Structure formats: structure tokens, C-alpha cells
Structure 1
Amino acid sequence: MDAKYINVLLIEDNLTDTALIREMLKEVRKPRFKLHNTRRLEDGLNYIEKNGADVLLLDLNLPDSFGFDTFLKAKERVPQSPIVILSAFDDEDVAINAVKGEAQDYLIKGKVDSSLLSRSISYAIERKAIEGELIRHRDHLEELVQERTIELREANKKLKNEIEERKLAEEEIKASLDEKNILLEEIHHRVENNLQTISNLMGLEYTQLNDKEPIEIYQESQNRVKTIALIHETLSRSEDFAIIDFNKYAYDLINYLFKSYAVDKNINANINIDGILLDIDTAVPCGLILNELVTNSIKHAFPSSYFEDRKLLKSRFTSSSNREFVNDQFTGQNDITGEINVIFTLDDGNFTLKVRDNGIGLPDNIDFRYAETSGMQLVNALVRQLDGLIDLEKDNGCEFKIIFRESSV
């Protein structure tokens, strides 16, 4: 593998299409690509097994293989390689089946330019890497569960021997073993659910590929994965492995987001969540909602023009001879700051989560309930999952308010 280039294997028997792909890749300045071409599927798969490739561009109709079976054969032989399908047929069913079958992308010949091709290759490599990391993480967790199960089996053998000598402790030992088995099942259930959530989040961002750069999609996916990971980190530090102190969790999450987006010192976060304890089934959607709304404020509420306009307005007010009309927010301050406020309360069985900023607000023509962005779609879906209500106020900034009932479990 050449570290200076992205090594691309194109399996394509049409010389004209091959030449066109080669020219498209040459047009891209960064990253640089090195293209190798074979005309038969078997030759291409042998090449990857011997030499490797960063990504496989695959035509479905070849001299030695035809149709969707071509992709299935390639996936079986080289499962570690990201595959981007290049097809002359704009077949939606085939495209959907390809993506479900773990192809990284499905491109139509004649509708591809150098920019789209480069972006698709880069995203395919990144997505395959993330999938590999998730699989390794899942396998590692399964190994830990298996090791723990073996340890429990050995413990059971010892306990059975002790039962003969300690008849009076039989019920207590049995209860302890039952509790451990339930805990193992619960851990497996949580890991399985959260891995599925991560997969769904990645799929949600995949639908936004045409509107976002891959690096932005990667950062948002990374932050959402970190949001769920922080839940488990908080649980691991808790005395009760089922309950989360959401105040500590929110502080850690927002601190991570500020560092992730290199937030300017002129933006402050204020957190008021004293005494809120949540079970994991409630904490995960609440954490994801908090991530999306705070991220939205960080990225969009405080453009550079926001601070420039407020400084100009402060200057005009403080220089005016009619001082009695000077607003408090423009007096006695040396700096203009943006504020992101997070308030989470529990009153008579009702949770109320508010995320407010004093930024530029949302345009009047945008309805957040029917937003096209994956972030707001995710927020609305999570509110429905909590069986809650969401409202928006646009007074001097933007405030989202989510209300839902306390879990009865």
C-alpha cells in the first residue's frame, strides 16, 4: 500500500468507462488516487487478496459474473474492503439492497463527476473503518461477557460444594446468583440496544451525504457515539448501575462538545440540573437530545456577525446622551458573551428540559417539526420515544422546551 495515495481497484470490463473513471480521479487534487483495473471479477478479487486496496469500485455486469450476485461474491471474498458499486442501471431496488447488504455506496454511471466520486470513495473508507471499530467493540464486549460467564460457572461449582456444608445459606446464595444472571442479561441487552442506536444514527447521517461534507458527518456521528459512551462511563462510576446523575453527565457532555468544536471563550454554558436521576432507558434519549440542541447552538447561534453587531449596538447605546434608555445588558460589561443555558427540572412527575441560547435564533420560515436536517429529525424522533412534547420560543434567541412524564418503571 502506498501511504501517499488512496489505492483504488476498479473491476470494469468497459474500456471507455475505465478511461473516464481514470480521468475523474486524475482531476482530484486532494486526496490523490492510484487506480488499478481488472476486467474480470475473479482477477480483481485475487488482486485484492494478494496486494490489498483501500477501496473497490465494482461494476455489477462482468464477463464472469452478472447482477447483484457480483456484489455478494465480492463481499464474501473481501469482507474487509469498502465497496462502491458503479452501475449503468438506475435501479432503486438494487441500490437499496446493495446498501442493506453493506455496500458503502451505489453510483450511477453518467451521473458521476470527479467531486462526487472522490467524496464517495473517502466516505466509503471512513464508514468501513467506523463499522470495523464497532464490530471490534462488540466482539470485545462479547468476550468479556463470555469470560464473566465462565467465571460464574466456576463460582457455581464452588458454591454447590459449599451448599452441602452451609444449608442455612442456600437461599441467600441462590438469590445472589440470580441477581448476577439478571445483571448480565441487562448489560447484554443495553449493549445490543445502544449498538443498534449507533447504527441507526450512522444511517440517518448517510441520508444527508449530498448536503454535508464527510468530515462533518464523521464529527456529528462521533459526538453521538460519545454521548452514548458517556452514559456508560457515568454508570461505571455510579454506586447504582441502573441510575445516572444527569447533572454530572450533562457537565461532562457539554464540556466535551465545547472542546470538540473549539468553542470561542465568548460563549458560556450554564447548567442547572440539580438532583435529576434517570434510568438508562431515559438517559440515552435525553443525552442525545441535549447533544443535538447544544451542538445546534454552538454551530449556528453565534456567527462572527453576532458579536460584531452587539458590540456596535452597545457602542451606540453607551455613547448616547439619553442614558436612561440604556439597556442593562449593554452597561457595566467589558465583553459581549453568548449564553447557552441548560435547565432540567422535575415537578409532580413531569420532567422539563430547556435548552436556550441568546443567539441569532431560527428564521421564521423554518418549522423545526418538519426540518430536513438529521439533527432536528433525531430530536423529534427522540421526543416521541419519550412520549413527550416539544415547543420552541424565539424571544431574544432560541429556547427548546421538552416535557415528558417520569418513567413508572
Structure 2
Amino acid sequence: MLSFFKMNKSFLILLLSIITFIGNVNAQEIDFTEAEKAWIKEHPVIYHGYDPTWAPFEFYNEKDTLYYGIIADYIKIVEDKTGIDLRPIPNITWKETIKKLETGEVDLATGISSNERRKGFLNFTKPYISFPLVIVTRKDYDFIGDLKDLNGKEVALPTGFYTSEMISRDFPKIQIIHADGVKEALKSVSFGTADAFVGNLAVVSYYINKEGFTNIKIAAPTRYKNSDLSFGVRKDWPELVSIVDKVFEAIPPEEHNKIKLDWIQVRYEYGVNVGKIVYITGILLLIVLLVIVIILLWNRSLQREIVKRNIIEKKLENSLSELEKKNDEKRAMLKEIHHRVKNNLQVVNSLLKFQSRKLKSEEAVTMFKETRNRVLSMAMLHEKMYRSDDINQIDVQDYISLLVEDLVKSYTVDKQIKISIKIAPVNLMMRTLVPLGLIINEMITNSLKHGFKNRTKGEISVRIKHLEGVRYEMIIGDNGNGIKEGHKSTGIGVKLIKTFTKQLNGTLEQLDMPGAVFKLTFDKIGVS
């Protein structure tokens, strides 16, 4: 037995070369039926749909306008073995591919997962490649061990991916945010506008390495089976399914592994499949020897990969530390900016107040007073940002309560006005709160000026809640005199409300309720 381990090195190399050559020769011999050969002859060119942003599986390179990826390599093998020219459809998205497959406008998708809905309009080949589905979060996020831990959280998923259907069905409490591709979905997790992403491990690894997402991690596997990819073929082409299955069955294991390793820069542990070797040689001793040599070479490759990955992880840690240091400096600078803006706005307010004392026109004094309130609403927001521990978030309930209270104090000397503020837990950033605060300022000012004439008391209320995705709703108004039928206001306040509503991508409508009550539906600005 020891003599076989000590055999001449050149003889061993020659033996492995002969075995590989025999395997490749066998792999090239595909026994198509006469019907399959006739079908191939009748279909020399087939156009297929794809996802142009799903690297490393498939993507469209804008620089040289060519189609690349793992799936493209498998397509090349199918073309070589069959003679069929498989051409990607120009300028198509994955969403369009799925829609046109269902309507019959597209005949084939070369990298698609099977599910019950898709089986209604497609036949599927046997899966030719498979990777696990994983959960991705930021490194500083709370522990996530399973999809159920994401109930009530926002998960970013690309539009048209079957994972959306599965998660919506099995975890209805998870809020799904749709993004234009994997890159944008991962970016939303990295930037903190989404809590997590669920997707293919190979795709996640590719984009983490390529885009340099140093603050996100693979948090946990999912309970779903691996993401299996097949060719999805129109229902009336069963011959193509059989043809492609035969091509894939003829591909040797080492060629499968080579395609994966060419594209994926992450370590995976594959078992050694020696079943095909039984058909090549009947000498059991040579089979055992071949397996041992492959294992030794594979272990050596894994050791080199471990060392390489440790070096990369160390560099990533250093880069992350440097980024955190720069972020701390930026936070300090932003807080100082908020402080100075607040001071400058207060100076503007003081000048307006001083100037208004010289005015004799009551209308002019009122206009100056309203302008001062607008300035104060912005100054108050910058003051909150300056004093907040997190410059990206402030206490919305506290900010709006103080804003309304200050307005009521400035307008009502002899009236008893009850204030009712109910704000659901929402995360609204500066770009949303500035126009929202100014809208509230105008609405409350109108209520205080016109809503309680000839009255000694009344109530003003503000309600804000989250609807879905980036959409929010505010109900604001009073229980006062209301707006006379047919009355149309053309003042600057109305123009400002319309401008800021448009800025928030919002809609404003008056509700059929006592007094003057309005509903504003708006977007959280700055979120895809």
C-alpha cells in the first residue's frame, strides 16, 4: 500500500490527465433523440430573458454591452453542445422578464427558481446550480437567528424576486420594501433605511466584496431550502427541457466547480463526487488514490483561502475603524452647523420682532408675526437636532408638541385652547420634518386666527401615523367655526402649504368633520 503513495510524481500527473481526458470525452457524447435533433434544427436562435443586475449569476456590462456571469457560462456550454444560439433580449429587466414569460412574449429564462405560480406557465429543467438563502443585516444590528426575528421589521427585496412571495406568505408581519435590484436593496440595509435583506449567498458575497459594504454581515441562514436555478421554458417546448437536462447531466463535476470558483470569491466546502469515476476505471485502488489526491489538493487550497480571507477581514476591520473615526468627526461638525443655523435664525427672528414694532399697519404686523413663527419653527428643529444624541433622529412628538404650544401662546391671550397631540412612533429625518413643521405652523396659525372667533375655548389636534413603506398620514385641525362653503383663500400661507405638500410628494384634503380638519398623506423624504 505504501508503494502506491510513493509512486513517481510524473506518473501520477499522467494518470490524472488520462482520467480527466476520458471524462471530458464521455461528457461530450450526448445522445439526443431524432425528435430532439429535429427540434434543434427548427430553432437555431432563441432569445431569453434575464436579470441584468444579478451578479455574479448574470449581469449586463454597460461598458462593452455584453452579457456575463455564471449563467452566461452555462449558456455557452448549452450553445456548444447543441448549436442553438441563445441570445439575451436587449434592454430588459427582471420584472419585465417575469411579466413577459407569463404572457408568452418571452420564451425562456435561463436562471429562474421554480414555484407553484410559475409552474402554471413554465416547464423547468432540473436545477443546475444551488446556493443557500441567507439573512443580511448591519454589523451593529440586534441578534437575528431566524426570519421570525424580523417580524415588524423592514426587509429590502428586489422587485419581482420569488423570495417576496414566500416571505409575504409565511411572515405577513414583515414589512417588505421593494428596491431596484440587489445592489440597491443591500445599500438600503447599509444606510439604515431597511433592517435586513434576504437573498442568495453567492450574490450577497459578490456585492459585499465588489461594492465594499463593510458595515453589513451575513447574520443567519433562512429556514427555506437552497435557491435552485433552472431553465424556465414555455409550456409547449418540452423538447428544450429534455435537451438542456441532457447537456447539464454531461457536465463533469470539475467543470461545475470551475465555473463557480471563477465568479465567487467566498469559501465553500464541496464534497468530492467520485461516482463518475466508477464508469472510467474498474480498478478500485486507482479510485481510492485519486480521491486521496483530490482531498489533499483541496485542503491545501482551503488553507490558502483561509489565510487570504483572514488578511482581507483584517483590512476590512481597519477600514471600518477609520470610517467610524471620520463619522464621529462629521457628527461633531453637523451638530455645530445645526447650532449655528439655529442661532442665525434666532437673530433673524429678533430683527423681525424689532422691525415689527415700527409698523403701524395691523396687517403688516400680523404678516411679520407669521413670518417670525415660521422662522421659529425651523430654529426649534435645529435646536432639537443640536441637542439630540443621534443627529439623524429627534423626538417627533416632543418637537411638534412644543411647536403647537408656542403658537397657541403667541395667539390666544383670553381663550382656553386645548391641545391634543398624538404621534405614533415614527422615524422622520430633517428633510421631512422641516417642510412638515412649516405646514403645521401654517395650519395651526389659520386655526388660531380664524377658527375661534366669538368663542372662548376650543381644541386643536395633530395626529401622525405610519401607513406602509415610506408613506405617512397626518390629521390636523380644530373644532372651531370651520370654513364657510365656497370660501377660497389665496394668501401666502395657502401657497406655502401647497409648496411644502408637493415637496413631501403629498396630497391634502379637507375632511367632513366639525371645524376645519385636514388629512395630509406624505412621503418620508430621502428613502428609495
Using structure 1 for the length normalisation, give the TM-score.
0.44
More helix by share: 1
Using structure 2 for the length normalisation, give the TM-score.
0.34
